[in-house]
Amino acid sequence: MGEPPCYAHLLDDDGHLPERPEIRIQRVYDLDHPTIGKRILVDRVWPRGLKKEALRLDAWLRDLGPSDELRAWFGHDPARWAEFRRRYRDELARPDQAARLGELVRIAREGPITLLYGARDEEHNQAVVLREVLAERLGLADERESV
């Protein structure tokens, strides 16, 4: 899906990609901002008003998104953020998610990735939590701001 990514702008002086995986997050409605690497949608539901061709996705990992029950409970209420993070991490720790997370880790090790999400709130959404979990699995130090 999508066009092959170009990593030329990320090469070091020797022409190699940095060993440190790069994980960014971006709102799907901010398509005028450039993304890096593979574009992976991590929402369980398709973003309203967007055609599949517009996103130029490399993957849609809908099953990595929070459960319908958790999404409904959270309602993007910042007051529930800490508990949402805990519950979502619990969902991601389930055995049925291990293979899905493993696939995302593999993709991140191959080159930069951009996790795409549809929520309005850029600080309180599942992509933020998923980036934290990926950073931990990749052995990166506190990556909340620098991934």
Tens of pLDDT, residue by residue over 73-100, are: 999 999 999 999 999 999 999 999 988 9
Task: State pTM to two decimals.
Answer: 0.80
Tens of pLDDT, residue by residue over 31-56, are: 777 788 999 999 999 999 999 888 88
Q: 24 in helix, strand or coil? A: strand
Domain boundaries, the chain: 8-137
% helix / strand / coil in the chain, to the nearest 5?
A: 40, 10, 50
